[in-house]
Structure formats: C-alpha cells, structure tokens
Chain A
Amino acid sequence: MASVTLTVNGRTVSADVDPRTLLVQLLREHLHLTGTHVGCDTSQCGACVVHVNGRAVKSCTLLAVQADGAKVVTIEGLAANGKLHPMQEAFRENHGLQCGFCTPGMIMTAVELVNRKGNNLDEHTIREELEGNLCRCTGYHNIVKAIAAGAKAMR
C-alpha cells in the first residue's frame, strides 16, 4: 500500500492505496467524485480529464501516487459557491452536450485551453486542441461553439 496526500477541489485528502491505483480510480472510488469518467483503456477519449497543478491531464494515465502533493481540480470543483463557471454555462447555452458522458472531460479541457491560449479562440484552434477528447453524440459542432463562447465569457 502507498500513502498519498493531495488537494482535491480545495480540500486536502489522504488515502492508502494499492500502488497501481490510477488517479481516476482514486477520485471515483475513494473520494466518490464520480463526475470524472472512464471511457476507454488507451488514453484517447478524454472523459477522464482533470486539472493537476493547473494542467489538463488524463487521470486514467496518471497513477494516484504521481499526484502526491498536487493540487487537483475536477468538474465538481469548477462551480464556485453554487455559481456555474462561464464554460459550464456556455456548454448549456450552446447545446454542447447530449448524453453528457464526455462533457466533464470536455469542459476541463476547454477551461485549460483558454488559460493557455486566451479568450479569442478560432474554430480551427479549438478543433485541433480537441484531438484528445472524443464525443460520439454531438459531432463537435456545438462543442466548438460552446468553447468559443465560454472562452469569451471567461474574460
């Protein structure tokens, strides 16, 4: 067993885990934060994206022990004081989700994209930056619109 301590959505948490535990398993099983989803086994679908020390990371491809001492933010931690994050609002306003399964990862990827590339994102940039996030429902058309709108609203 290995001991990990990290901050998740602002709270310090500690756990003893089997060393092969993935970060996504720590979040879902130990912390009951089931908003982060598992959609594949080859690190491609992006449903598991969270922020680790401000970077968008696929939590299925990180061991929990690698996140020891890190600051992690999941989809549950995005809304502050009951108020939705502008990117969350943008997804709803622009119908950027249908079944919702890819959505947490999409939103976390989008927020970090804006942090890296600014508030004026063109369609081409957004589409390229979404290579690591699969959606089967929306055809991406409205996701791209949502992210462009959310980016502007994040100013």
Chain B
Amino acid sequence: MKWTAIDDFGIVINPMIVEGQVHGGIAQGVGQALLEGAVYDKHGQLVTGSYMDYCMPRADNLPSFNVDYVVTKCPSNPLGIKGCGEAGAIAAPVAVVNAITNAVGHEDVPMPATPQAVWAAVQKSAKLRKAAE
C-alpha cells in the first residue's frame, strides 16, 4: 500500500499532533475498507463479539503514510484554523475501494474488502474477461 494524503487544515498550530490525527484517522478508514465489519446474524446475534472475530488494524496491516498540506486560512475564526481529527477516517475508505476496483477492473468490491472478498472480485474479473473474448 502506497499512501499520500494532502489536507487543508488552514493554519496549523502543532504539525506533529495534526499529523498524528491524520495517521490515526487513515488507519481507522483502512480498517473500515479492508478489515472491520460488525456482523449480526439473521436472529440478531452479534457474530463479531470480540477481537477474535472483529479484525482491528494492526501495525503490520498498515504502511507508513506520506502526509503534507496546502493552506487556505479559514475566514470564519480568528486563528484561520480548521479541524483535523476526522479527516483521515473520512477520506480513506473510498480511496481504498477506488484503488481495489481499479486493480480488479470492475466495481463489485464490498467493504470490508477482506482477502476472501478480493479473491472473489479477482475471480469475477477473470469471468468478465472471458465473457468479453
């Protein structure tokens, strides 16, 4: 995974802390896209009821992130700053799904795109390619 994030947070008070917020948000977004999903069965039983069944992102699921900024001051507060706590979590999931669908050549990829889901998507691309021939 190669990751680049450019955020516009206006004026940045402490770039070290802001970057940490971006990292953490991206991790949660990647978690949604690839690993996490709360599942109830048809009887309403929570099948994913512990860390055994619900896949939290771990250090070896994630890359290091390339983070930078552009700056347009916020005109509606005295400091010209914008919030940064949720940015990564908002932007990340769709970027991941856009990348995977680009790789497999069709749009039928669910979240989480677990190894099994990606495998199924790859099988589908093979089928689509065959049908097109």
Which residues of chain A come closer than 8 Å to B60, judged between CB atoms?
127-128, 130-131
Q: Is A142 positioned at the interface, with any CB of B under 8 Å from its CB?
A: yes
B62 touches A42 (CB 8 A): no
Query: What sequence of 0s and 1s flags, for each residue 50-88 of chain B, a beta carbon within 8 Å of any chain A beta carbon?
Result: 111000111110101100000000000000000000001
Do A144 and B24 touch across chains, with their CB atoms under 8 A apart?
Answer: no
Bound together, the chains give a CA A133 to CA B51 distance in angstroms of 12
B110 at the interface (CB under 8 A from A): no
Give the number of chain A interface residues (Cβ < 8 Å): 25
B24 near A138 with CB under 8 A, answer: yes
B residues contacting the other copy or chain, number (CB 8 A): 22
- Map CB proximity to A onto B17-40 as digits: 1 under 8 Å, 0 otherwise: 101100111111000000000000
Q: Are B64 and A95 in contact (CB under 8 A)?
A: no
Determine if B131 is an interface residue (Cβ-Cβ < 8 Å). no
Whether B51 pairs with A42 at a CB distance below 8 angstroms is: yes
The 14 listed contacts between A and B (C-beta, < 8 Å) are A95-B16, A98-B24, A126-B59, A130-B58, A131-B58, A131-B60, A134-B56, A136-B27, A137-B20, A137-B24, A138-B27, A139-B24, A140-B57, A140-B59
A44-B51, A98-B24, A138-B23 known; 17 other A-B pairs, CB under 8 Å?
A42-B50, A44-B52, A95-B17, A128-B60, A130-B60, A133-B59, A134-B51, A134-B58, A135-B59, A137-B20, A139-B26, A139-B27, A139-B28, A140-B62, A141-B62, A142-B20, A142-B23
